[in-house]
Structure 1
Amino acid sequence: MAILKVNPTRVSLLRLKKEHKVAKKGHKLLKDKRDGLVKKFMSVIYETRDLRVSVEERLGSAFDSYTRATSMTASAALNTALMLPNAKIDLDVEVKSVMSVKIPEFKVEKSGSAFSYGMLETTGDLDNAMVKFDMVFVDIIRLAELEKTAENLAEEIEKTRRRVSALENVRIPNLEDTIKFITMQLDERNRDAVVSTMRVKAMILAKEEAAQNS
């Protein structure tokens, strides 16, 4: 570690001790924050993993139904059926702060119906596909919300980790080494001052004794 460039005085020593106390407190707070962020991150990761599996399975099923529908329905009829959807989706994005991390909240409101077509020229597979797509849509939005949350948490965890490391491996050791160095310097000065005082007293006593004996 390195000795900080400061004057080895009592004032500097008091200031450094105060900084050391603040640094230790900050270090603990940052470690607690990091641990809290990691716990939240892992919770989000697990939820994301489970939801992604569910979404992928349901999307696969929806696309299977749609593929069967396209193979059994004339292209013109299919295009006409899907041309003018009645469903309306409103997406409201809000941001909240969790441990200084911006967490998105996507609120979805759906109105109308996914079925904007007559059923005479289409198959039941198209109906099934539309129902499945409609049911999985909200979870797709939720998945996007979770993935963005995980990304923001990961960035904050890394920032906090670097700050903890800087305090733990650089700032606090430097302060401790400098405090130790200044303390040694001041102790040495005190010893020198005591020795000098004792020498002066000895010289005065010697002169007084010499004066009495003369």
Structure 2
Amino acid sequence: MANALNVKPTRMELSNLKESLDVAERGHKLLKDKQDELMRQFIDLIKENNELRKQVEEELSGALQNFVLASSTMNDAFVDELVAIPTQEATLEIHRKNVMSVTVPEMQFHYSEEKEDKEKDLSYGYLNTSSELDESLNVMNAVLPNLLKLSEIEKTCQLMADEIESTRRRVNALEHRMIPDHQETIKYIEMKLEEDERASITRMMKVKDMGEEE
């Protein structure tokens, strides 16, 4: 429910309130457009996130099944020794980008290449290992970029959801509180000024009548 603001019913206040109302209405439109665009991008990201998550989970599930199967036929200490030494150094770069005034992460994953053997992916030979272990490690290595992309999208969704909620509160405050209160106050001041103007005209007419009688 709109409430009139506690201001003096003067023409100066009326002018100030009309300017403030104009700013509030323009701000409301901009925020509403921003909210709609954020929602559109958020929904697109959610769809992309669901598809990528399904793909990553399927790949990891198959890789883990192969790894468990391979581990069941091999000595645990031997398996630990096989994967203890990495063949490549991995680096993660996190940049920031602005999406509708929301600062979101942009991640890049890099492998350092070995000078002696750039095509070497595993730190062991194939002689004493099973094909399931080889396949599982290859899949896990290949799925890392998508896994990183998934974490980037999910963090972006979280940040955009927070911004959508913040924007929604501001839109509602303008739409249901500030703008109606200003409109109600402007209406009240205009009615008060019209009433004062009618009273002033009535007084002037009475003074004129009294002057004519004298």
Q: TM-score range by the shorter chain?
A: over 0.9
> Residues 117-170 of structure 1: CA distance to partner in whole angstroms, max 9, x if unpaired?
122221111110111001111100000000000000000000000000000100
1:130 aligns with 2:131: no
Structure 2 matches for 1:32-181, cutoff 5 A?
32-112=33-113, 113-181=120-188
In structure 2, C-alpha distance between the alignment counterparts of 1:40 and 1:192, rounded to whole Å: 58
SS at match of 2:124: coil
- Larger Rg, first or second structure (1 or 2): 1
Structure 1: which amino acid aligns with 2:30?
L
Show structure 2 runs of 5+ residues with no match: 114-119
1:74 offset after TM fit, Å? 2.1
Q: Assess if the C-alpha contact under 8 Å between 1:93 and 1:106 holds in 2.
A: yes
Distance 2:13 2:85 in 1: 76
CA distance in 1, matches of 2:4, 2:79: 77
Structure 1 stretch 108-117 or stretch 196-205: which is displaced more? 108-117
Q: TM-score, normalised by structure 2?
A: 0.94
1:189 corresponds in structure 2 to: 196
- Give CA deviations for 1:68-108 in whole Å, capped at 9, x if unaligned: 11012222321221111112211000111111111110011
How far is 1:55 from its partner?
0.2
1:13 partner letter: L
**What secondary structure, in the 3-state scheme, does the structure 1 residue paired with 2:126 have?**
coil
Which structure exhibits the higher relative contact order, with contacts defined as CA atoms closer than 8 Å and separated by 6 or more residues? 2
| Contact residue 65 and residue 129 of structure 1 kept, 8 A | yes
Deviation at 1:64, TM superposition (A): 1.0
- What stretches of structure 1 move > 4 A for 4+ residues in a row? none
The structure with more helix, counted as a fraction of residues: 1
SS in 1 for 2:107: strand
1:111 Cα deviation from its structure 2 partner? 2.9
Give RMSD over aligned pairs: 1.0
| Structure 2 letter corresponding to 1:71 | S
Q: Which runs of 5+ in 1 are unaligned?
A: 208-214
Residue type at the aligned position of 2:176:
N
Q: Report the identity percentage.
A: 40
TM-score between both structures, scaled by the size of structure 1: 0.94
